[in-house]
Chains A and B, each alone.
Chain A
């Protein structure tokens, strides 16, 4: 980082700072509002550290180039929004299947289709989880502030490298374009994780062979050009990377890419809790909307209402264990405000079951959910 002290930064800028701090060396993208600043800043900053910025012919190519660069050993990222996120899905699935570490930033705007390009939304929560076809797990992180756009981008790279998987940083236009005074150094020197490299003799390397033979293990990843001469395919494959039609071998591969993430659900789960100890109503919120939720909970407390906030940071894998604990609190209600028609409320409802009412609070077409909207819902639930 070449600047220290407090700075007025935008969420998108902080994201690039985080990526650079994590060791980003390759960015490929295609301009789209409200993510474009990420590409623009990368085009300026990456060459200064010896890295590469490419403006590709479309988002499909960008995601492809990111996978290629990562296999050649570079930490790689792309950034986009709604329509471009749709275009990335096939190659995002390739990264999940072929276990290629990379970070995909989606700064959400109103959809479907071209929607409202400059207005905020949280409509891609389910697409981030299930946008590519077939069974897979994916890690999705959602920041709520400029500082967090910085720290969470570093976390996204670390998880991608450690688990050899694509990680989605799901921002929204609120956070992407928000300007806040931040002191990045205040985060301290955050740990940076690099992928495991093989240490075995080259001819014995199995790019998809779990070290200890456990489904949850993450195999080390050599880079192309290091002499391991290995095969990577999107076809279902065996431990040596070659395609297989053997259902037993195929099942093991699919189970492994799912289990390596699903089995770490609790360690991946990140959340912030505010006034949760004695809460009678809990707001479960994420991203830009969680900012309003924080204010609403503070205002409710000021009026003597026992409200709490569970701000979810790791959206996927779904933090089952933490959300399930809400069942035991004897709550009057759980409120889930989202700038969509009700997406994250679905898994929350599944886990809360009949323990208490789960109330969705939704706004679309670019309308913010304001603190007073959430405060009203809290009062209505008391």
Chain B
């Protein structure tokens, strides 16, 4: 019997390129479950990505899919959405892709509040290029370009996007796969810029160097350090130390969405040029 999500896959393109134990498949499945539960029109849904392990996901998905250049998925997606606002556009990106080389595009898309759903597969490392540090590699952890330990402070991606004006911001992990699906569903339904940070283990290039060699070690790490947002709010600063909140962190409804705002601009410009 075919898997219930198989209809969303280009099955002939499998097996995928991801390593054994990689979390990216779990995030991809969460996206497909969300698409399935929302019954999205597969002919009107476009999946766009940049470059990285995570960005290879669209190649396996049976939608209109666009695998772009490193860091640039969001502006490509912006062009698609603005040229045809009817399309639902989902961006799949990595932490390096979204926050290092693509950081500028991320904050500007959030500022515009354009209706894109950006799902950042955050494995806190550059997976594709075999383990260099990213802007979210935790302080002190090791990477191929941080042989003495990471000395740069990290971005908190959710705070960054919320601060830039994103109207839906949420975090999940691959350990919490079901809640992650629900978060992605909410993000897709949200009209405006939605951002989901999905923590995703990279046992090969992060775990091996950081005493989290087994994929399960990393999943348990998520279990032991993630705190649901409603509970998080009740914690003292001391209790929060070393932990992070998961769930929907920011949601602003009915904020003007950019492609709609622009359609109204078009209507005004047409009226005036005909007058």
Contacts and interface: CB of A to CB of B under 8 A. Distances in A.
Interface of A: 2, 25-26, 28, 44, 47-48, 50-52, 54, 56-58, 60-62, 64-74, 76, 90-91, 94, 223-235, 242-243
B176 interface: no
B179 to A, nearest CB: 29
Contacts of A90: 69
B250 to A, nearest CB: 22
Given A64-B69, A225-B46, A225-B64, A73 B59 contact: no
Contact of B72 (A2, A61, A70): A61
Interface in B48-63: 48, 58-59, 62-63
B5 interface: no
B69 A225 contact: no
Contacts of B67: 231-235, 243
B87 A225 contact: yes
Given A68-B83, A72-B80, A231-B67, A47 B269 contact: yes
A354 B43 CA distance: 60
A72 B42 contact: no
A48 B269 contact: yes
Nearest to A91: B69
Q: Which of A48, A66, A226 has the most CB of B within 10 A?
A: A48
B104 A52 contact: no
B39 interface: no
A57 B108 contact: yes
A25 B79 contact: no
B262 interface: yes
A271 to B, nearest CB: 34
B68 A64 contact: yes
Contact of A224 (B13, B64, B266): B64
A65 B43 CA distance: 21
B71 to A, nearest CB: 8
A249 B86 CA distance: 35
Nearest to A58: B104
Given A68-B78, A68-B79, A68-B83, A243 B63 contact: no
Contact of B79 (A28, A57, A228): A28
B38 interface: no
B75 A56 contact: yes
B77 A68 contact: yes
Contacts of B74: 61
